[in-house]
């Protein structure tokens, strides 16, 4: 038991801490993004368990992937999650993934709605729209980690390999998309026995480097210790994500 004042203090302390944390985040975001922050941020975190350090977020991703690989995944409570996420979001990670239908980041990391901010494009490369989306995740949603996720047997990267080795051409905007990945192919061409696998890994590394090189927002967040950028390759046969060494 406690007296009424002490009870009030105890009950309000976590809420106040969350509010203060969000106020700090809001101030940082507002300085850079203006009204974006107002539209996106809740008064309290809808998923307090998602407020993680970059290292803890990486651990959470890989623990989720281990559950997915083993087939022992969590049961998700969609009804209560829906209520919690009605007024905001605070995902613990952003993922830049290929659009391939066999790659499903929420499944691959045994995560729920509101956990991952996923940006997808065939070939998981960085362009202006991808970068803007991920900058939003960093500066407004305060995600502590960005994972660039390639995968083996990637058709988009394979198409770039065929442009580089067989002068292949593709119709419509497909050719333009594919040639965006040519620099990654050229870096490893002639240096490996498996050009596709090497190009897939190099393409992930190039995307990681481009995220940092092309964004002052991402550079600042990294420098402040608020953000990590990591890369990995999803294995279609097992579901395992192998992280690339940075």
In terms of residues, how long is the chain?
Answer: 246
Q: Does residue 241 contact residue 149 with C-beta atoms inside 8 Å?
A: yes
Q: Is 7 annotated as a binding residue?
A: no
Rg of the chain over all Cα atoms, to the nearest angstrom: 20
Please give the DSSP secondary-structure letter assigned to residue 172: T
Among residues 29 and 233, whose Cβ is nearest to Zn ion?
A: 233
Among residues 98 and 146, whose Cβ is nearest to Zn ion?
A: 98
CB neighbourhood size of 51 (10 A) = 17
Q: Is 151 annotated as a binding residue?
A: yes
Shortest distance (Å) from residue 125 CB to Zn ion:
10
Among residues 200 and 217, whose Cβ is nearest to Zn ion?
A: 200
Shortest distance (Å) from residue 209 CB to Zn ion:
19
Shortest distance (Å) from residue 58 CB to Zn ion:
22
Spell 70-103 as b/e; 16+ CB within 10 A means b: eeeeeeeeeeebeebbeebbbbbbbbbbbebeeb
Shortest distance (Å) from residue 155 CB to Zn ion:
6
Q: Is 2 annotated as a binding residue?
A: no
Among residues 113 and 153, whose Cβ is nearest to Zn ion?
A: 153
**Interface with Zn ion by CB under 5 A: which residues?**
98, 100, 154, 156
Instruction: Give 194's Cβ-side CA count (13 Å radius).
Output: 7
List, as residue ranges, the binding site for Zn(2+).
98, 100, 151, 154
């Amino acid at each position: 038991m406690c007296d009424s004042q002490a009870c009030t203090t105890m009950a309000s302390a976590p809420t106040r801490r969350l509010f203060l944390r969000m106020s700090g985040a809001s101030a940082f975001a507002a300085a850079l993004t203006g009204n974006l922050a107002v539209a996106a941020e809740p008064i309290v975190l809808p998923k307090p368990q998602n407020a993680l350090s970059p290292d803890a977020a990486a651990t959470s991703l890989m623990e989720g992937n281990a559950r997915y690989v083993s087939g022992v995944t969590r049961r998700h409570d969609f009804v209560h999650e829906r209520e919690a996420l009605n007024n905001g979001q605070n995902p613990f990670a952003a993922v830049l993934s290929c659009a391939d239908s066999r790659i499903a980041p929420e499944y691959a990391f045994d995560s729920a709605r509101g956990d991952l901010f996923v940006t997808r494009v065939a070939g998981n490369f960085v362009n202006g729209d991808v970068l803007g989306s991920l900058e939003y995740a960093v500066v407004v949603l305060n995600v502590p980690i960005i994972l660039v996720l390639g995968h083996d047997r990637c058709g988009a990267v394979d198409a770039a390999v065929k442009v580089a080795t067989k002068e292949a051409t593709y119709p419509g905007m497909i050719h333009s998309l594919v040639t965006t990945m040519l620099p990654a192919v050229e870096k490893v061409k002639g240096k490996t026995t498996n050009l596709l696998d090497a190009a897939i890994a190099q393409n992930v590394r190039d995307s990681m480097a481009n995220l940092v090189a092309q964004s002052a927002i991402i550079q600042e967040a990294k420098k402040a210790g608020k953000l990590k950028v990591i890369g990995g390759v999803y294995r279609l046969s097992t579901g395992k994500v192998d992280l690339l060494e940075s």
